[in-house]
Amino acid sequence: MLVPFHTLTQVTAAVPRILDRGVGPLILEYIDLLTMSVVTEFVGLDLGIPEEIRSTALAYLVVVLEQRTAERLNEDVEELAELLSALGAIDVYVLPAAAGERLIEAREKAFWAAKANGANDIVDIVVPRASVPVFMERVAKIADENISWIAGCGHAGDGNVHLSVFQPDDELRYKVLSELFALGMELGGAISGEHGIGTAKRRWYLELEDPNKLALMRRIKNAFDPNGVLNPGTLLT
């Protein structure tokens, strides 16, 4: 199912309502307008959405359902379509299987598509699911205040938000990233949900993470690696 909405706020507000229904989607993703344009162009995908819809939709939900029987699946689709329409969806499209698979594949290429279109950095901040609406509202504010583009998509069902930051100025981009990471931590999340800390996010992790947690992690690291030969010079040194 591909569900366009007028605003990203409507999308993020719809997510908990979907999950509360107990439908249990296999995939529940959100894609904002910029990311949808980038990924579909990147893979040459035409979903057949009318221009009048594409011109007004600022965000999309992608929902994949599965059931043991076609009858039960159809019931779930109808129930969910009714709910989403009530929550402000512009329309609800049940895509053919092949088109749905290509859309999921396109979404998985969002990182490369964003890079190819000039994204200067990509992060995957995770926040509690209930905090996603607040997080996205404040992300938009951070972008406006720092004269930056921030495009997004992510796993709406678990709060993992992938953001592509378009800001070529190094100093301003550092400020944007710092504010995004601090926001994620403030809302009870983490600065990375999937991609990991590595060396790129080390400075922010050490600055924002609980010192007691860091101390515990160092003790565990030292217990297994007293000579410091495992992954030296990265996070825990």
The mean-pLDDT minimum among 42-51, 65-74, 226-235 falls in: 226-235
Look at residue 183 in the predicted model and tell me its pLDDT: 98
Residue 237 pLDDT class (50, 70, 90 cuts): low
pLDDT at res. 236: 67
Residue 175 DSSP SS3: helix
Mean of pLDDT over the chain: 92
- Can you spell out the DSSP letters for 56-116? T--EEEEEE---SSHHHHHHHHHHHHHHHHHTT-S--B---HHHHHHHHHHHHTHHHHHHH
140, amino acid identity: A
Task: Say what the pLDDT of residue 234 is.
Answer: 76
Report the distance separating Cα 7 and Cα 165, nearest Å: 20
Domain(s) labelled CATH 3.30.70.2740 in the chain stretch across 120-224
Domain with CATH 3.30.70.3450 in the chain: 2-111
The average pLDDT across 20-47 equals: 90
pLDDT digit string (tens) for 171-230? 999 999 999 999 999 999 999 998 888 888 999 999 999 999 999 998 999 999 999 898
Q: Could you tell me if 123 and 157 are in contact, meaning their C-beta atoms sit under 8 angstroms apart?
A: no
pTM for this entry: 0.88
Domain 2-111 has CATH 3.30.70.3450: yes
How much is the pLDDT for 67? 87
Q: Which of 58-62, 130-134, 172-176 has the lowest mean pLDDT?
A: 130-134
Integer Cα distance of 182 and 208 in angstroms? 7
Is residue 233 pLDDT above 90, yes or no? no
Q: What is the CATH number of domain 120-224?
A: 3.30.70.2740
pLDDT digits (tens, 9 = 90+) for 135-171: 999 999 999 999 999 999 989 888 999 999 999 999 9
